Chains A and B, each alone.
Chain A
Amino acid sequence: MNNLQQKAQQLLESGNYGLIVGYEKGTSGKARPVFIRKAEHASKLIFDESCDQNIAVYLYRQEIKHDKKKVIVANHHTLKSIVELAAENQVFDGDFMVLAFAGNGDIIELNTFEEIEKHVATLYHGLTEAEAAMMKKIEDMSLEDRWAFWENEFSKCIKCYACRASCPMCYCPTCTVEINQPQWISVPSHTLGNLEWHVMRAMHLAGRCVTCGQCGKACPLELPIQLLTYKVALDSKQFFDSVAGTSICADNALAIFKPEDHENFIR
């Protein structure tokens, strides 16, 4: 049994904790989320590079609402999402403990939001090189090519909303897409409606996207839709020096302003 499994076992045996949300080995070498309530199942837990899913999305779910104090095994995306969820009042200090990992693999226990926030400050917040390269590839296209690229991508979308379900930040009980008075976004999954959906999703993540890329990973059609939210995240950083998932204060990039904010397009 490795450290994590031992730790998990102890925590569950202690009786102070009722649920551990973490990763287990899935099929074809992928990790998948697991919910462990019994100490004897602790050996299922793994934590390695394959555990790249952002599982902060489960923290506020009704299904685990009545579990005793929870523990979440968090990769760095999950950690940032927890901080952002804390800033947005969706998770509450003291409701759960976070098990994070130091560079050398040591387990770090984080009990309060303040501790999590401090730990997150030590993490890397940019895009990976591969992600940055994808961004650049699109940004380097001509306007027409970009439109053609996205028109093609959006035409494939089936509006299954897996992107929404996988995103920890998409917690609204009633999504704008489900409102029909007025009908903000047309219901069928035609290109126009799909474009509107994805633009809206990206805008709603402005200043909130932690660039985990989960939406793109969740997409059954493998549309690179995570790039849209990366774009708003990068712009929030560039224009307003705002990076989501770094502060537990309510200071969303679009909720605040500075009189000296600089743009060059308003006449």
Chain B
Amino acid sequence: METNNTNNFEPKVVAFVCNWCTYAGADLTGTSRIKYATNVKIIRFPCTGRIDFMLLMKAFANGADGIIISGCHPNDCHYTSGNFHARRRWMIFRNLLDFIGMDVNRIVFSWVSAAEGAKWAEVVNESVDQFRQLGPATSYQKLIKNSEFQEVE
């Protein structure tokens, strides 16, 4: 893990979640009034199978410090198998990012069911802590900055 612990650093976190399990689970966190960090904002997808790895690249390119991906537990997928496909995709993708030297701890994967409101809060809080520890994604942000410079040029 790269540790760039900056004081009072609040990571920007985007969560990609499936509609049927984790989105509903996060709703339950709300109805149960369990508190979690404000850093995380959710984007709803029909299924984890829908989440294109390019969207993760997009998120990093737009300055995300961390990403949470969450969907139905294995065998619970609303669409039977979307999460199984997603799992294979992440196994390959995560290792590839590691291979090019990106810190894969900036992406948290979890299964959160519609009944696991408490788990969602836990995942969010633990992830945000983890991302705080990692500090800003400076190495990636350097690339963003350079690219902006070049594009203006």
A interface residues (Cβ-Cβ under 8 A, vs B): 138-139, 141, 143-151, 176, 184, 186, 188, 190-193, 195-196, 198-200, 202-203, 206, 227-228, 231-232, 235-236, 239-240, 253-255, 257-259, 261, 263, 265-267
Contacts and interface: CB of A to CB of B under 8 A. Distances in A.
A196 B57 contact: yes
Contacts of B101: 141, 143-151
A253 B95 contact: no
A263 B85 contact: no
B24 interface: no
B44 interface: no
Contact of B96 (A143, A186, A231, A265): A231
B125 interface: no
A143 B102 CA distance: 7
Contacts of B104: 265
A228 B99 contact: yes
Contact of B143 (A141, A195, A261): A195
A232 B94 CA distance: 10
B129 interface: no
B97 A199 contact: yes
A150 B110 CA distance: 29
A267 B127 CA distance: 11
Nearest to B103: A143
B85 to A, nearest CB: 6
B88 A266 contact: no
17 contacts: A149-B101, A151-B143, A184-B54, A184-B58, A192-B140, A199-B97, A203-B96, A228-B100, A235-B95, A239-B88, A258-B84, A261-B84, A261-B91, A266-B109, A267-B110, A267-B123, A267-B126
B108 A263 contact: no
Contact of B88 (A149, A176, A257): A257
Contacts of A144: 2, 101
Contact of B92 (A195, A200, A239, A267): A239
A259 B54 contact: no
Contacts of A239: 88, 91-92
Interface in B59-84: 61, 74-75, 81, 84
A238 to B, nearest CB: 9
A266 B84 contact: no
B50 interface: no
B100 A199 contact: yes
Contacts of B58: 184
B91 A263 contact: yes
B92 A203 contact: yes
A263 B53 contact: no
